């Protein structure tokens, strides 16, 4: 994929699990880059694997329209690691140099990585390899260090709260105690927020041994 002009350009990819607001974040970054700074935007497909395999698309006005209410990510996502990339029949290989070469082949001024903890670690490794990196915290767990709120968390907490609200009547009708388990990895933000909003009698979180 040859660069179209000699203007500045950035790359963008999404890694890890999908969640709400991914497309909105892609749209926000790309539209700001295009309209405010005159920067071209290259999207890499299926996370870091797309960067390593040089599978890219131009992001322009037509590809960014009507994204605000669309779930998932138009770029696709994955959990591949450039330094430990799985290859069919060959195990894993360190393809960091390939990722770096593809970055330079597109004459990128920066690579924007949208993802959670794993994506941030991969982004850091690429930064140490010499690339300019910007990262956006994405995870329903809300566990990216140094971040107040990651996108995806608010929607997940709202859905978990709605689920708790719906089982109140069943618990009362059958005189039962309901135990609700949420996601959250090693952090309790999702359980804490949904539990408080849903009126839970007790909330168990990893940060406090029980």
- Cα(2)–Cα(19) distance, rounded to whole angstroms? 31
pLDDT tops 80 at residue 7: no
- Cα(155)–Cα(86) distance, rounded to whole angstroms? 32
Kindly list the catalytic residues. Answer: 141
In the three-class reduction of DSSP (H, G, I as helix; E, B as strand; rest coil), residue 142 is classed as coil
Q: Which domains does the chain have, with CATH numbers?
A: 9-137 (3.40.50.450), 142-210 (3.40.50.460)
* Residue pair 138/16 in contact by the 8 Å Cβ criterion: yes
* Residue pair 188/207 in contact by the 8 Å Cβ criterion: yes
Total count of residues recorded for the chain: 210
- Cα(66)–Cα(83) distance, rounded to whole angstroms? 35
Task: Tell me the pLDDT tens digit for each residue of 31-75.
Answer: 999 999 999 999 999 999 999 999 999 999 899 988 888 888 999
First to last CA, the chain: 55
* Residue pair 56/42 in contact by the 8 Å Cβ criterion: yes
Average pLDDT, the chain: 92
pLDDT band of 100, cuts 50, 70, 90: very high
Task: Tell me the pLDDT tens digit for each residue of 107-153.
Answer: 999 999 999 989 999 999 999 999 999 999 999 999 998 889 998 99
Q: pLDDT value at position 2?
A: 53
Q: Which residue is it, tokens 């849903």?
A: 198
In the three-class reduction of DSSP (H, G, I as helix; E, B as strand; rest coil), residue 136 is classed as strand
Structure tokens at 189: 């933000």
Sequential DSSP letters for 154-209: HHHHHHHHHHHHHHHHHHHHTT---------TT--HHHHHHHHHHT-S----TTS-
- Which of 119, 50, 125 has its CA nearest to residue 83? 125
Structure tokens at 36: 């405010």
- Cα(15)–Cα(50) distance, rounded to whole angstroms? 10
């Amino acid at each position: 994929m040859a660069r179209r002009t000699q203007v500045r350009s950035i790359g963008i990819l999404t890694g890890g699990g999908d969640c709400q607001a991914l497309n909105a974040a892609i749209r926000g970054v790309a539209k700001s880059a295009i309209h405010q700074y005159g920067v071209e935007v290259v999207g890499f497909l299926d996370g870091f694997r797309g960067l390593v395999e040089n599978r890219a698309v131009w992001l322009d006005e037509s590809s960014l329209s009507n994204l605000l209410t669309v779930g998932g990510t138009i770029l696709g996502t994955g959990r591949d690691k450039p330094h430990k990339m799985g290859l069919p029949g060959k195990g894993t290989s360190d393809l960091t140099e390939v990722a770096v070469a593809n970055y330079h082949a597109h004459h990128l001024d920066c690579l924007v990585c949208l993802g959670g903890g794993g994506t941030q670690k991969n982004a850091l490794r690429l930064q140490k390899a010499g690339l300019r990196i910007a990262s956006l915290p994405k995870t329903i767990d809300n566990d990216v260090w140094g971040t107040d709120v990651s996108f995806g968390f608010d929607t997940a907490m709202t859905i978990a709260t709605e689920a708790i609200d719906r089982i109140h009547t069943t618990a009362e009708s059958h005189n039962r105690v309901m135990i609700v388990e949420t996601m959250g990895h090693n952090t309790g933000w999702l359980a804490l927020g949904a539990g408080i909003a849903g009126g839970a009698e007790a909330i168990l979180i990893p940060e406090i041994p029980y």
